[in-house]
Amino acid sequence: MYTLIFNGSPRRAGDTSALIQAFCREIQGQVEQIDAYRSTLSPCVDCRRCAGGGGCVINDGMQEIYEKVEKAQVLVLASPLYFSTLTGPLLSLCSRFQALYMARRNQGSGWEQTKGGLVLLTGGGSTKDPSCAFRTSRIILREMGAGEIRQVASIGTDHLPAGEDEEALGQAVAAAREFNTLFA
Ligand SMILES: Cc1cc2nc3c(=O)[nH]c(=O)nc-3n(C[C@H](O)[C@H](O)[C@H](O)COP(=O)(O)O)c2cc1C
């Protein structure tokens, strides 16, 4: 089983990282993490080349990531809430998935949606309802082929850090166990 995690937090040992670690302690197989804040990938510029079947015009490390997305059984989007949605660098990186979406659409096949997907969110507490970010994340994960999508949020980290939020940590572990059963 191969799991690919996209981390949208700038903080190496922050709240989002605590949820990722809980998941990683339990998930089986190979796990790789891509940190949006430490990536030099360009955002999509909507040049429309991929819409015409030509693939992505931007020749950077994203081509390698496309291959990893294709081979992954489990995809994870993890992010703190910034203004109720995913952080800018993570959204910027995800904009490049448009080329994958267009490739599928041009084949007329669509995604098979056979992968597992997981959304891990953290929020200080100004957002009481993380549904906006969950919705955005699910759209992105579906575009990358995830059918079974689970979601976990630790909201209120200003008062209870995600690393001490037993409920959210437990849900991250439960998602890993479920994917182990489904995909290992
Ligand atoms: C620019 C910015 C915007 C934020 N917007 C929200 C928000 O809309 N809702 C919320 O609950 N918390 C918000 N927060 C708080 C973070 O989501 C929270 O501190 C989170 O736990 C940080 O996770 P991290 O340690 O993984 O980076 C914001 C923080 C920053 C820096």
- Rounded to whole angstroms, the Cα distance separating 73 from 153 reads 22
Q: What is the pLDDT of residue 37?
A: 98
User: How far apart are the CA of 16 and the centre of ligand 1, in A?
Assistant: 10
CA 82 to the chain's CA centroid? 15
The whole-chain average pLDDT of the chain stands at: 95
- The mean pLDDT of 44-52, rounded to a whole number, is 96
d(CA 82, CA 26) in angstroms, rounded, equals: 28
| H runs (alpha helix) in 83-152 | 88-95, 98-107, 131-143
Spacing, Cα 81 to ligand 1 middle (Å): 5
45-62 mean pLDDT = 94
**What span, in angstroms and rounded, lies between the C-alpha atoms of 137 and 8?**
12
Task: Give the atom of ligand 1 at the shortest distance from the alpha carbon of 17.
Answer: 26
Ligand 1 centre to CA of 25 (Å) is 24
With a cut of 80, say whether residue 117 has pLDDT above it.
yes
Is there a contact between 176 and 23 (Cβ–Cβ < 8 Å)?
yes
Task: State what percent of residues in the chain have pLDDT above 70.
Answer: 98
Q: With a threshold of 0.95, does the pTM exceed it?
A: yes
pLDDT digits (tens, 9 = 90+) for 126-135: 988 999 999 9
- In the Cβ-directed half-sphere of 176, how many Cα atoms lie within 13 Å? 23
Q: Are 156 and 123 in contact (CB under 8 A)?
A: yes
Most confident of 52-56, 109-113, 145-149, 154-158: 154-158
